Structure 1
Amino acid sequence: MNNFTRILLIVLFCFSCKNVSNENKSIEPDTYWGENPWPEIRTKRINQLLPKALKNSDVDCWMVVCRENNNDPIADHIGGENAGGTAAFLFYNDADGFHSKVFSPSGEATALDDLDIHDEVISVERGTSAVKMAVNFILEKDFKSIAINSSDSNSMADGLSYTQRQYIEELMGENADRLVSSTEVVYEWLSIKLPEEVEILRKAAQLTADWQIEAYKEVIPGKSTDADIAKFLKQKMIEYGVTDGWAPDQNPNVNSGADRGHSHATKKVIMPGDVIQIDFGIKVYDRWVSDIQRFAYALKEDETEAPEDIMHYWESGKAGNRAALGAMKPGVKGVDVDRAQRILMEKAGSEYVMWSTGHPVGYVAHDVGPNLGGSQASHVRPASEKIIKEGMTFAFDGFHAWKLKDGGTKTISVEEMAVVKKDKAEYLIEPQEDLVLIKSN
Structure 2
Amino acid sequence: MITVGEDLWTAETRRGDDALAGLRHEWEDLYARCTTAAPFQAYAWLESWCRSYAEPGALRVTLVRHHGRLVAAAPFQLSRRTGAAVLTPLGGALADFTDVLAADDAVRPATRILARALLLDPGWDAVDLPESRPGPAGAALWQTWPGRKWRMPASLCFELTAMPMEDLVRSLPAKTRKTVRRRLNQLARTDVDVSEVTPERAAPAVAELLRLHELQWRGRGINEHHLSAQFAAHLTRSVTGMLSGGQAALYEYRIDGRLMCSSLMLIGRDLVGGYLYGTDPELRERVDVSTMLMNDTLPLAHRLGLPTMSMLRGDEPYKLRWEPRLALNERMVLARPGSARGLAYGLRVRSARAAVQAAKEHAPWLRTVRDRLRRGAGSASHGKPSGDSASPGEPGADSAGARKPGGDSAGAGSAG
| TM-score calculated relative to the size of structure 2 | 0.26
Structure with more strand by fraction: 2
Q: Which has the higher contact order (CA 8 A, sep 6+)?
A: 2
* Structure of larger gyration radius: 1
